[in-house]
Amino acid sequence: MKISIFGAGAIGSYIGSLLFKSGVDVSLICRGKHLKAIQNKGLLMQSKEANEEYFCKPKASDNPNDLGKQDFIIVTLKAHSAALTAENLLPLMDDNTTVLSAVNGLPWWYFYKSGDKYENTKLISVDPKNWQWEFIKPHRVLGCVVYPAAEIKEPGHVIHSEGNRLLIGEPDGSVSDRARNISKILIKSGFKSPVRKNIRKDIWMKLWGNLAFNPVSALTSATLEDLVNDRDTCTIIREMMQEGEKVANALGISFPISLEQRIEGTRKVGQHKTSTLQDLELGRPMEIDALTKSVSEAGKIVGVATPTIDMIYHLVRLKAQQAGCYPNL
């Protein structure tokens, strides 16, 4: 079984290191100083949650042609990068390759085999040039919702702070052989990776908070706890989440917890900066289209207005543009 991690930054390196540790034939596709460090010295992984550290030296390259055809490819890029680099997966794929789309936000394949009147609708906000649909092709895809948190401390050195859930599922909700196979491999490697029968619901459960907290945090530079504790700001967040829930409901998704429970869960995370705020502070491209614009686009598709989401999206997009952190797709 050959597995390649396409976009092995912090999260991808964490996943790859655990797969390598369990004996899987895994390769990492990454670039820059991180790649050179792994090639020269290997990868040092520290897990605060597991209170352990270990060293490994998986195959690593910035050229997919070096690695051959893969059974599974786990895409762990930011959404905007995934849209731009889809063609680069071609050397890794044959007719039997499965691609796990472990990307934040509504995925480009969302309406593939959705079983409703919106089936095969394309989401322009996350795949503006249609490259993922064209080059990867939706029949290859397994959905994947990623919960681990990790960061690159320095090239070749990744710190995993918390989380080991990688939820996977077929777009049509079936429990396929390929889903069971990768689930077993991931579980053996130390992940909580059940095969889910409604992966879209899992996508929405993560996105429900991200669509609001991430852009508002970038606008305010506030931590999650501070956002919840500021009454007026939290009112805006509630309005965004209410709009997002209406879009999800129109797509047949119901949430198992209330909005207030979701917000209270965020409060308990404490003084944590969202990934979007961290990207802004570090001058990196921000994932605002996948986390926010995609929900607005889905709202237009199903006929649900999202005025607060739209307003916040336009504000944070301008902030990202002024900071040089808005990716041009």
The answer to whether residue 328 scores a pLDDT higher than 80 is no
pLDDT band at 327 (very low <50, low <70, confident <90, very high): confident
Residue 6: beta bridge partners? Answer: 29, 75
Whole-angstrom Cα distance, residue 204 to residue 198?
10
pLDDT at 142: 98
Whole-angstrom Cα distance, residue 130 to residue 33?
30
Based on the residue annotation, tell me whether 69 is a catalytic residue of this protein: no
CATH class of 2-197: alpha beta
β-strands 157-162, 149-154 pairing: antiparallel
The string of pLDDT tens digits covering residues 31-90 is 999 999 999 999 999 998 888 999 999 999 999 999 999 999 999 999 989 989 999 999
b vs e for 312-323, b when ≥16 Cβ sit within 10 Å of the residue's Cβ? bbeebbebbeee
> Which residue is listed with tokens 């429900």?
208
How is domain 201-322 classified at the CATH fold level? Answer: N-(1-d-carboxylethyl)-l-norvaline Dehydrogenase; domain 2 (1.10.1040)
% pLDDT > 70, the chain = 100
Q: Which of 21, 36, 59, 206 is catalytic?
A: 206
What are the backbone angles phi and psi of residue 108, rounded to the nearest 5°? -60, -25
The string of pLDDT tens digits covering residues 76-129 is 999 989 989 999 999 999 999 999 999 999 999 999 999 999 999 999 999 999
pTM recorded for the entire structure: 0.95
Q: Which two tokens stand for residue 325?
A: 């952190």
What are the backbone angles phi and psi of residue 6, rounded to the nearest 5°? -95, 105
Q: Are 73 and 92 in contact (CB under 8 A)?
A: yes
- Domain ranges for the chain, please list them: 2-197, 201-322
Q: Which two tokens stand for residue 184?
A: 């077993």
Beta strands in 48-148 (DSSP E): 52-56, 59-61, 72-75, 98-101, 141-146
Whole-angstrom Cα distance, residue 165 to residue 82?
21
